[in-house]
Structure formats: C-alpha cells, structure tokens
Amino acid sequence: MYRGHWGLSRAPFQTVPDPDFFCPFSAYQDVLDRLLYVAEYGKGVALVSGEIGSGKSTLSRVLIFRLNEEKYDVGLVINPSIPAKELLYEIALQLGVSSPKGQRSVIFRAINTHVLQNAQKGRNTVLIIDEAHTITQKASFEELRMLLNFQLSDRHLLTLFLLGQPDLNEKIAHQPPLNQRVAVRMNIGALSVEETASYIECRLEKAGAKRQIFTDEAIRVIHREADGLPRSINNHCDLCLLEGMKEQMKEVDASLVKSVMALV
C-alpha cells in the first residue's frame, strides 16, 4: 500500500518469518553457525531460547534454507503442544514418513527406518521443534528423547533443535535424560540501539530502498518502545511507513513515531 510512496519493491516489515529478510548480525550469525555445526556433525540436541518476537522462528526458517536438501532431510513442527501420542505422528508426518496414526510402536519403527535410510544415502535427519516451550506433557519430552536413541557409534542419526521462550530452559532441566543430551544452549537477546538501526536499514535495503527513510532519533524511539525485539520493531516501522505515506512525509522522524505510538 505504501511501497510506491517510499520507493520500495516489497513490504520490508512483515512479521512472518521470511528468510529473505534475515539480517546476519554477529549474535544471530553465531547462533546459526552453531546450529549448522550441530546438524553437520550429528551432535544430538541444540536448544535456542529467546523472548517473544526475538527472531527464533525466522532463524529456524533461515536454518532450513541453509540445510542443503541433498544432504539434509528436515522436518519442522510448529505446534508441539498437542498430546504426546499425536506429537510422534506429527513428527513422522513432517519428516515425510507414512505410518498409521495412533500406533506408537509402528510410528516409532517407521521413523527409525526412515532415518536409517537417510544415513545410508548420506543424508542427515534434522527435526526442528518451534514453540517448544508450549510442550506440557512429560511424555512428549520422553518421545523426543527416545528419538535420540537412533544413533551410530560416533553420531546421532537424528538431530533435534528445540526453539522456545526462556522458560523452555527450566522445562528441559526437569527432564534429566533429555537435558543431558543437549550439546549446545543459546539465547537470543534483544537488539541494541545500534543493531536496531542496522536491522531497519538492512530490511529496507532488501525491500529496495535507495535512501535513508528513518531518522536516527526516530530509530532511537522505536528501539525504546520495542525493547529491541525484532517483531515489535517490525510492527512499529510498518505503522510509521503507513502513517508517513498518509501525511505525505519524506522521512520518518521522531515526532511521527511518537504520534503512531499514541495510536496503538
């Protein structure tokens, strides 16, 4: 709606986890590099925590994009809060494993056969559980632990990535058999004001911007209001571009940001 006014080819501040708009700050890149390492060498489990809107889901989509299909077979579960007996079936479904629903032992064997076949073809099996903090049943964590028993003498045949809000750490700590298998633990923090500026500039450039649109003071106000969280930054910036177009402004300044903030 506002793209023509600001000279953009795409909407830069959508809140969906689009890997095309990934901005590789050092902290995010470090998390991504560690996840790729865990996947490549079959290290078992990696746990990534972060506040709501910190960029975990986007990071997971970037990870999937970086995992070459010829070498990796990737399954993504985005709603793990379902009952344990359904979670195993959902995992099989996301890995492309055909198996009757409800028969746990049959599903388990089917997944085992699948990861073994992948290994024989030189492919690593990767399972990503997004929103893992929503898991409430101990049995669900036990199912995940059992999947890690698929292994060779020197590596796991299935790599598990758990992404969730900070309380996921405590939940995993109360599951010793699974907790002991976590090879890497990482936390995604909020962006600094400097990173917020780079983040906004990065997304605008990816959307085709040829000039600076947000003033430095406007960015400082957005950073403060959003607490440095990318999703909130996106929401604020998107509204500012919309209101700026309505008022036929040439740039987004602090006064516009403050007026927009008063509306939400």
What domains can you pick out in the chain, each with its CATH number? Answer: 26-188 (3.40.50.300), 191-261 (1.10.8.60)
Residue 99 has pLDDT above 90, yes or no: no
Q: What angle do CA 57, 58, 64 make, to 5 degrees?
A: 90
pTM value surpassing 0.75: yes
Residue 142 has pLDDT above 90, yes or no: yes
Q: What token pair was written down for 148?
A: 């890690």
Average pLDDT over every residue of 103-126: 93
Residue 153 has pLDDT above 80, yes or no: no
Q: What is the chain's mean pLDDT, rounded? A: 94
Q: How confident is the model at residue 211 (pLDDT cuts 50, 70, 90)?
A: very high
Question: Shortest CA distance to 168 belongs to which of 149, 156, 148, 182?
Answer: 182
Q: Supply the pLDDT for residue 102.
A: 66
Average pLDDT over every residue of 246-256: 96
Cα–Cα distance measured from residue 130 to residue 234, given in angstroms and rounded to the nearest whole number: 20
Q: What token pair was written down for 37?
A: 């390492």
Question: CB of 53 within 8 A of CB of 230?
Answer: yes
Average pLDDT over every residue of 170-199: 95
